[in-house]
Structure formats: C-alpha cells, structure tokens
Amino acid sequence: MGDREADQALVERVQAGDKQAYGLLVTKYQRKLLRLISRLVRDPAEAEDVAQEAFIKAYRALPSFRGDSAFYTWLYRIGVNTAKNWLVANGRRAPTSTELDNEDAENYGEGDLLRDVDTPERLLMTKQIGDTVNAAMAELPEELRTAIALREIEGLSYEEIAQMMDCPIGTVRSRIFRAREAIAVRLRPLLDTGPDRRW
Amino acid sequence: MTKELSALLDGELETHEVPTMWRTMKADASLRDTWRDYQLIRDVLRREGKLAEDITPGVMGRLRDEPVVLAPSPRRQSDWHGSLLALAASVTGIAVVGWLALAQQPSSREQSAMARAVVQPPPAALAATRAMPEYREYLLAHQANAPGLHLQGGAQHIRTVSAMGGGQ
C-alpha cells in the first residue's frame, strides 16, 4: 500500500466515524502545513492557530473528500484559504494566488528556519531536536544510516533501496526500522509525552 | 508492532495488514507516540521546520466538540465485477430497445396479409378500374405513393385509395 493509499485508508476511517484516525493525519502533516502557513502568517503563535483552524475545517469538509487528489494537496488548499481569510479578517492583505505560486510555498530554503520570528525557547527546542537527530544519525552503523538516508532524504522505495544496497527488501525494512528506533530512543527524553499531550 | 508501524509510515505495509495496524494504533497510545516520533525524525531529516510544535493534541481537543463526520464510503468493487455489471446493463438495454421495436411491428403473417390486401386490389375493384379508363390514369400517376411499396414499420399508418366500381 503506497503513501497516498495509506492516507486514503485513514481518510475512509475518519469518514466512517473514527476521530482518532484523523489525529494520525494531523501528526503526519502538521509541520508541512505549519511551514506553509508560516509563510503567509508570520507570527508563530498566530500561524499555529491558523493551522489548527485549517485542520478543523478540513475535518468538517472530509465528507466531501473523495480522493480525487492526494490528501495533502486537498489540505494544502484549505490551509492557504484559511490563512488568506485570516489575513483579511485581521485587516491585512492576503497574497494573490499568483504571488503565492511565485513564492512556491512548497519550497522552503534552508535559511528559513533561522529567519523565523519565534520565541527563543522554541528556537532552542527546534535546535536541540535537530542536533539530537543528526547526532544519532551520525552514530548509526553504516548500513542503517544509508538505508534511512535513502528512504527519508532521497525518498526511495524499499525496492529501490534493496537494489542499491544489494539486499532483500525484508532487510531494508528491518534496517530502516532499527535506524528509526535508535534515533527515537535519543529523542524521547526531549519530548513531552505527558498524559495531557496524548490524544 | 513498531516494525510494522515503520513500514506503514513508508507506505510499504502489505494492504491486508493495514486495517489491523489502524485498529491497534487506535487502542494503543504508546504506538501513537511512536508514530509521532517517527514523523518528527522524518521532518528533521527533511528539514520541515517548526520541530518544537506538536499541534495534534490541540486539534484533537477541539475535535471533541465536533460532531462525528460520517460519509458513505465509496464501495470499491473489483474490476471484473464492474465490467460484468456494465456488460449486463448493455445487454439489458439492447434487449429492452429490441423488444419495444418488435412489439410495435405487426407479425410477419399480419404483414403479408396487409400487403396482399393493399397490393392486390380485389378483383371487383380491378374490374371496375378496367371498366373506368378515366380513373386508370389517376391511379397510375399515384402509384408511387401506394403503400404496398414501403410497408415496413409504417403499416399501421397506411391509408389506401382505390377506385370503387361506380363510386365517386
């Protein structure tokens, strides 16, 4: 089952009344959507509110989603419209669709993170998370590091990775899982997993 | 189960395993935490930014007040099933159209009887025609309109003209 099909399966679960399935989609796409909205709504706290609003609007509109496009493509449009409406409601000029296209909201330069007008605590946290993941990556055995880099950075499928690394697909699956777990073990102490953060 | 979760994240889990995985995740909060951790690792490696944020609890908190969305799921049928239905619909359509067309036409026996009745005037009429040469020219001139030349499909609308012996 491909990524789009997996999203569609989740959407169908939500459409059948399973709210928690929607949480998995929110977790998956929240940063991508927040990154997009942050380009329109500069204030981080406001961008977060708008992102939440976009997810709520998308939830309400889900009965009409038929899977003609990918879930994120559909969510992207809702995110842009929500941000534009928010700007207009707050007396600010919303960018035209041409301006937005020219800016190419899907692409975000490497320096954008540093230009964010964010609180020092959040910037520090972002830096700590990034450093931890990168340090854990560097300490991985070569075959695990290569496997997860080919998957996450290059976006290759398991089959393509298996061909490149000259090993069975089952081995690729196992290596990527072990790499993720090794990184997650280092990351978890930084993350708030208290009962109030669960859903 | 986390190994399957990792494969699910990559869209590489077998289709038949996915529903079980979703059900397990619904019941297991720690598995949902793992899903979040793996997504975060992905976002770091792909430089998605805003790493310190997790708005999922906030969104899910607001969703508690929302009515549950329910939409009729499109029933996915296998290709052969869809093709079979299309074929059955086509055959039924052709059968209905054919039946309607045939039902409007008289039977072959009726047709031949009508043809005889029209094409072959009664002997008395022929005799009368022969007997009245002033009508013969009129009937010959209108022979092209005689219904006997195109009976098919229009037989029920036929009006015949013939000369009656001694008639006006």
Ordered by start, the domain boundaries in chain B are 2-58, 108-157
pLDDT digits (tens, 9 = 90+) for B118-157: 555 555 555 555 556 666 676 667 666 665 555 555 445 5
Level-2 CATH architecture, domain A119-199 = Orthogonal Bundle (1.10)
Give the domain ranges of chain A: 1-112, 119-199
Where residue A103 falls among pLDDT bands split at 50, 70, 90? Answer: very low
Nearest to A64 by CA among A14, A1, A138, A25: A14
Tell which wins on pLDDT, B132 or B79. Answer: B132
Say if the Cβ atoms of A122 and B29 lie within 8 Å.
Answer: no
Structure tokens at A84: 């534009």
Q: Is the ipTM of this complex over 0.90?
A: no
Say if the Cβ atoms of B22 and A188 lie within 8 Å.
Answer: no
Q: How far is A90 from chain B (nearest CA, A)?
A: 22
Examine domains A1-112 and A119-199 and report if their fold is the same. no
User: By CB neighbour count within 10 A (0-12 exposed, 13-18 middle, 19+ buried), where does A122 fall?
Assistant: middle
Tell if the pTM clears 0.90, that is, is over it. Answer: no
B contacts of A152 (beta carbons < 8 Å): 41-42, 45-46
Q: How far is B65 from chain A (nearest CA, A)?
A: 11
B92: Cβ–Cβ under 8 A, 6 or more apart, which residues? Answer: none
Q: A1-112 has which fold?
A: Rna Polymerase Sigma Factor; Chain: A (1.10.1740)
User: By CB neighbour count within 10 A (0-12 exposed, 13-18 middle, 19+ buried), where does B51 fall?
Assistant: buried
Nearest residue on chain A to B68, alpha-carbon basis: A17
pLDDT digits (tens, 9 = 90+) for A48-79: 999 999 999 999 999 999 888 999 999 999 99
pLDDT digits (tens, 9 = 90+) for A115-149: 455 778 888 888 899 999 999 999 999 999 999 99
DSSP state of A93: P
